[in-house]
Chain A
Amino acid sequence: MKAFKIVTSTCIPLAIDDVDTDQIIPARFLKATTREGFGDNLFRDWRYEADDTLKAEFILNNPVYKGEILLTGSNFGCGSSREHAAWAIADFGFRVVISSFFADIFKNNALNNGLLPVTLTPETVLQLLKDCSKNPDLSLTIDLENQLVIRNDTNDSFSFEINPYKKLCLLNGYDDLEYLLSQKEKTAAYAATLDDWRILKR
């Protein structure tokens, strides 16, 4: 996994609540067997008409807004557990998603792919959505080490929470699997104690 330390970028403001993973990447695009290329179909049905022409009114199609930070409404990533949603967002070029809160599975999936979900208060997110919409050049700095989001126009900063273990993983680019593999002996010792009924006999 790619390490994450600091990102400074303008934002794309997507002022919609309850964005579910079916909108992020519709199920019909889940048939690939690799992790690459999902960005092409990110927000497919919001970005494109049925005949594949761009929907000009959708924010991702507005050339004025660019950047590595997706700024969005509350309950982002709800619904299906598809990790393809996190892959699509990262593949499109985002490195950070800011919301007032995230669905649990999406949050884990994002963290497992070096995509940083940043939770700020609803008031802060609303203000940022408003200000970024008005001023597409407004840039933010996301400083993971110090757990801060800094507005580069006003120098206001907002702190965010992250699990200390997950923070360490992101800063160093470690993934959970490496850690779990290092626990092999402990797992084997645990597995040796399983009650008979817990073992599946087929």
Chain B
Amino acid sequence: MSKTLFDKIWQKHIVNTIPNGPDVLFIDRHFIHEVTSPQAFDGLRKRSIPVSRPDLTIATADHNVPTINQHLPISETLSRKQVEMLTKNCAEFGVELYGLGHQYQGIVHVIGPELGITLPGLTLVCGDSHTSTHGAFGSIAFGIGTSEVEMVLATQTLLQAKPKQMRISVEGELNKGVRSKDIILYILAKISASGATGYFIEYAGSAIQSLSMEARMTICNMSIELGARGGLIAPDETTFDYIKGKEFAPKGEVFDKAVSYWKTLHTDSVAKFDKELVFKAEDIEPMVTFGTNPGMGIKISENVPGSEHLDGSGKENFLKSLKYMGLSEHQAFVGTPINYVFIGSCTNARIEDLREVAELVKGKTKAENVTAYIVPGSRQVRDQAKREGLDKIFIQAGFELREPGCSACLGMNEDKIPKGEYCVSTSNRNFEGRQGPGARTILASPLTAAATALTGKLTDIRTLFV
């Protein structure tokens, strides 16, 4: 029987099946962090059970850590306690921790791939919805709640019902100034923030295949923004080349054997999906969001949409969203003054993102009104950026290069955007208050964010290429 990529991986991980119920799935990699794990460890303690597979459990501190002076004790009491709790739990249960100051510390979804922990054909979970990022390698990766974190810690398995499957193909060549962030924001604008709820997505097509691993991760990362629990991309030579030689990736004969298996991980030509969507790369322009969910996006050259085609609660919700954003129907969006730019998060804080920003801002200076943070996704990304001299370029351009963490993506640490201010952000969510109470988030690619930092107003990157 012909199978999808997803079917092949799912089937290989079934430990047991409950008739009319979910499957018991084996989990190959479990990432944990300080925010969604304490109650899970408590549960283990209450039942007096150990962590089943500490060797497959990867721990780091990322969500609430400060991005300056990480060598000092965390000044915010609750954050410090949560990080200390993670340290204590990891020590007690024998889990290796990449904590603050560790050379491997960083955002969970950045460190897994860069350390060669994330591989094709695996199941990966984490108490964080952006676990979908790891799907870029051709693996089943999804976010879970804390009760499920406890289940995986205790048994290295989860009960999961098989989701429906959707294939989204993007065909053709990308336009100038368009990056993978624009592809996913475009798909979001087309099918909405709930367009893939209940589905797992496979991304395919020539435009997707042409992307680097890091660019693929940006797309898979935001699968959850479409409502899907995850999204994956068939592994290919780009994938194998990326993995080869990474710190914890298989080596030598084991690697070769793995590659020959990974090459079988693709959707069979006649396999059926519950839903198929095809988009043309040429239709995609640099994208930005104007509202309060990631599906509310437009091409940067377009005006803010109007509500005339909406009615009832849809219209109310739309107008509520514009009110929060301080925007009016049909107003021009490009040129809006912007005081904050955030380049970071598990969506866009990898070395390629930083290189691209550096290339654009080299020898230039940010606009005076702009506060521009660059928060690398991991210590390794930060160290690499320094080795390449990117830190000097950023400093000369007036950008602040911080230490790694989730930072202003969700504002759990001190990095918050003030009330009422716009922030052009390379992160993944523009929900009300996401970057701080009253903050107004405009999601965009690192290129658009950097261009905006230079001009001090929302900028179409294509006008800077001339």
Contact = CB atoms under 8 A, between A and B. Distances in A.
A79 B150 CA distance: 21
B26 interface: yes
B15 A190 contact: yes
Interface stretch (B157-165, B175-183, B365-373): B157-165
Contact of A33 (B39, B159, B317): B39
B355 to A, nearest CB: 28
A164 B21 contact: yes
A191 B27 CA distance: 10
B129 A176 contact: no
Contact of B313 (A15, A27, A180): A15
A83 B142 CA distance: 14
Interface string A178-190: 0111011011001
- What band does the interface of chain B fall in when counting residues whose beta carbon is under 8 Å from A? 35 or more
Interface stretch (B78-86, B326-334, B344-352): B78-86
B156 A187 contact: yes
A198 B122 contact: yes
A109 B16 contact: no
Contacts of B158: 176, 180
Interface residues of A, number: 63
Nearest to B22: A165
B193 A78 contact: yes
Interface in A33-71: 33-35, 45, 50
Given A27-B412, A75-B227, A101-B197, A184 B15 contact: no
A74 B42 contact: no
A31 B64 contact: yes
Nearest to B159: A176
B128 A81 contact: yes
A123 B260 CA distance: 52
Interface string A5-24: 00000000001111010110
Nearest to B35: A30
A75 B157 contact: no
B102 to A, nearest CB: 13
Contact of B151 (A30, A50, A177): A177
Contacts of A104: 163, 197-198, 227-229
Given A16-B317, A45-B433, A176-B151, A79 B24 contact: no
Interface of A: 15-18, 20, 22-23, 26-28, 30-35, 45, 50, 73-75, 78-84, 86, 101-105, 108-109, 112-113, 126, 163-166, 175-177, 179-181, 183-184, 186-187, 190-191, 195-202
20 contacts: A17-B314, A18-B194, A45-B432, A79-B129, A80-B410, A80-B429, A81-B143, A83-B127, A83-B146, A84-B146, A86-B145, A101-B197, A105-B142, A105-B229, A165-B21, A175-B147, A177-B154, A180-B151, A181-B155, A197-B119
